[in-house]
Amino acid sequence: MNEITPFCKKTRFFQRKIILISQLLILTACSSAHILVDTPNLYVNSNPFQDVAEGFETTSPELFFVTDRQVEGIDSTRHYYGTDRSSSIAFGTAKVQFGQNLSWDALAAASVTQSLDHSIILNVTEVNEIVRFPEVPLPFRVENGKAVILPESSAAYGTAIRSMQSHLQERLGASKQKDILLYVHGVNTEFNDAALNLADVWHFTRRHGIPIFYSWPAANKGMFGYFKDRESGEFSIYHVKETIRMMVPWAYLNSSWPVFVSESCHRLIWVRAIG
C-alpha cells in the first residue's frame, strides 16, 4: 500500500481549495453588483472562520496589489488606476469594506447562512501605493558587446524588491497559514473589480495567507475594447513574470506555498509568464 506523504496531502488540500476558488470566481464574474457571493454549501451551518488569525478578523481588510496600470489621479484616500499601460509596476494595498456598520461576528455569521435578508455590499475604500519600481527596461551600457545594467538602476530596483518583500514578510508573520494567494483577473475588469473579486475569494478560503492581486490594464472601452485588452495582456506578461520571480523564491524561503489563480482567456498570461 502506497504511503501518502505530507507533500501529497498538502497538494490534495490545495487542489480542493483551487476548485472552491474557481467556483467563487464564476459567481463573482457573473454578478453585476459588488456583493458578497452566496455562501458555499460546504460552509452552511458550520464554523469555518474559527481559526482566522486575530488581525484578519475585520470587515475592512487590506489586500496587496501589483499593477502596471497608469495612475489617473490621487486624492487623500486612494490612487486611481486606469487602462493606460505603465512601463513600471507599483506595489501597494487596497482596503475593502464588507457592508456598512457590520461587526466581524455579524459578517462571520452571515457567511455561513444560506439565505440572507439583505445583501452585503463590498466597496474599495482606500488604495495606497507603497512602492513604485523603476521603469523597464532599466538603463544600461554596452561592454564588450553585452548589455550591462547601470549599477544605480540595479540598486534602485533591488531596493524596491526588498521593500515589497518586507511588507509581505510582516503580513505573513500575522497569518496562521503561510500561503500566498496571487490572483490575476480577466478581460473587461477594472482595478477595483479585481480587488473585490479577490476579497470574495480570500474571505471564503477562510482568510488564509496573504491575498495579492495583479491588475493589468484591462477594461478598455469601445468597439475594440476586447482586442485592446488582449494587447494589454501581452504587454503585461513581462511584468507578471517579474512579479512571480520576486515572490516565489522569497515564499519558499519562508516556507510559504504560493497559490496562483487566474480567470478568463488570460490564463495565457500565467502560462507565458511561468514558461
- End-to-end CA, the chain: 36
Nearest 10 degrees: CA dihedral of 29, 30, 35, 40? -90
DSSP element (H, E) containing 199: helix 191-204
Contacts of 191 (CB under 8 A, 6+ apart): 65, 67, 69, 81, 127, 215
**Residue 65 within any structural domain of the chain:** yes
**Residue 220 within any structural domain of the chain:** yes
The span from the CA of 89 to the CA of 237, in Å, is 12
At 18 the pLDDT is: 47
Q: Count up the domains in the chain and report the number.
A: 1
Tens of pLDDT, residue by residue, the chain (275 residues):
444 444 444 444 444 454 445 445 544 544 467 899 888 888 888 888 988 998 899 999 999 999 999 999 999 999 999 999 999 999 999 999 999 999 999 999 999 988 887 889 999 999 999 999 999 999 999 999 999 999 999 999 999 999 999 999 999 888 888 888 999 998 999 999 999 999 999 999 999 889 999 999 999 999 999 999 989 989 999 999 999 889 877 776 666 666 777 665 555 565 556 56
At 274 the pLDDT is: 59
**Residue 82 within any structural domain of the chain:** yes
- Tell me which residue range forms the domain holding 137: 6-274
At 8 the pLDDT is: 45
In terms of Cα–Cα distance, which of 73, 68, 65 is closest to 89? 68
**Residue 21 within any structural domain of the chain:** yes
Q: What is the pTM of this model?
A: 0.84
In terms of Cα–Cα distance, which of 262, 267, 266, 260 is closest to 209? 260
The span from the CA of 173 to the CA of 78, in Å, is 26
**Residue 260 within any structural domain of the chain:** yes
Sign (positive or negative) of CA dihedral 104, 109, 114, 117: negative
C-alpha cell at 17: 481549495
**Residue 34 within any structural domain of the chain:** yes
At 269 the pLDDT is: 61
At 275 the pLDDT is: 60
The span from the CA of 71 to the CA of 215, in Å, is 12
At 30 the pLDDT is: 46
**Residue 1 within any structural domain of the chain:** no
At 267 the pLDDT is: 55
